[in-house]
Amino acid sequence: MGGIAKGLLVAPSGETIVARWRRLFGQVGLPVVLVGARPEYADLGLPLIDDDPPGVGPVGGLVALLREGPAVVVACDMPFVTDALLRRLVAAPVQAPIVAPRRDGRWEPLFARYDVSVLPFARSRIAHGQLGLQGLLDEGGAAELPMEANEWAELADWDTLPP
């Protein structure tokens, strides 16, 4: 992305992706916390937290969030998720430590709901050098959020968009 913070990219809606998530989370009644305290985000007026520990990839961000309590985790670079899909994730009646969509045997760990009970498990995996979120969801008791065929396009991230 040429060094730019992905959250500051302009979504098709005309707002930055961070502003879009802030609006969507507000509509659903969720607090917004940015993980990865990049200097570019300092003036956005949102809480910023660093990965815990730093340098281990997305699992470090997840641990940092779960220290604060249960979390709905979304990738900052998903510009198409609707409030309806976000509401479905939040309200999914599934009682599991993790709820996430799954397609072709792969979880979408960066559009998922996590309970704090996942925290010790995530920390243990980090301590053993197991940094992948797929493994965390596979072994952590994740339950699948059913998706309609047309909803998968909402989970496209900036990196997969055609140039």
The H or E element that residue 122 is part of is: helix 118-127
pLDDT of residue 52: 93
Per the domain annotation, does 17 fall within a domain? yes
pLDDT of residue 37: 73
pLDDT of residue 3: 54
Look up residue 104 and give its DSSP letter. T
Pairing of strands 111-114, 71-74: antiparallel
Tens of pLDDT, residues 27-44: 999 999 988 877 887 888
Provide the number of structural domains found in the chain: 1
Q: How many CB atoms lie within 10 A of CB 18?
A: 21
CB 65, CB 37: distance < 8 Å: no
Per the domain annotation, does 163 fall within a domain? no
Per the domain annotation, does 129 fall within a domain? yes
pLDDT category of residue 144 using cuts at 50, 70 and 90 = very high
Altogether, the residues listed in the chain come to a count of 163
User: Which tokens hold the place of 158?
Assistant: 């900036």
Per the domain annotation, does 59 fall within a domain? yes
Per the domain annotation, does 36 fall within a domain? yes
In this model, does residue 1 exceed pLDDT 60? no
pLDDT category of residue 145 using cuts at 50, 70 and 90 = very high
Per the domain annotation, does 29 fall within a domain? yes
Which region, left, alpha or beta, applies to residue 25 given φ > 0 means left and ψ of -120 to 50 means alpha?
Answer: alpha
DSSP-assigned letters across all residues of 8-31: GSBPTTSSBHHHHHHHHHHHHT--
Per the domain annotation, does 162 fall within a domain? no
Per the domain annotation, does 51 fall within a domain? yes
Look up tokens 């985790």; give the residue: 73
Domain interval for residue 58: 6-157
In terms of pLDDT, which residue wins out, 5 or 25? 25
Q: How many CB atoms lie within 10 A of CB 92?
A: 16
Tens of pLDDT, residues 88-129: 999 998 889 999 999 999 999 999 999 999 999 999 999 999
The CATH number that applies at residue 73 is: 3.90.550.10
In this model, does residue 2 exceed pLDDT 50? no
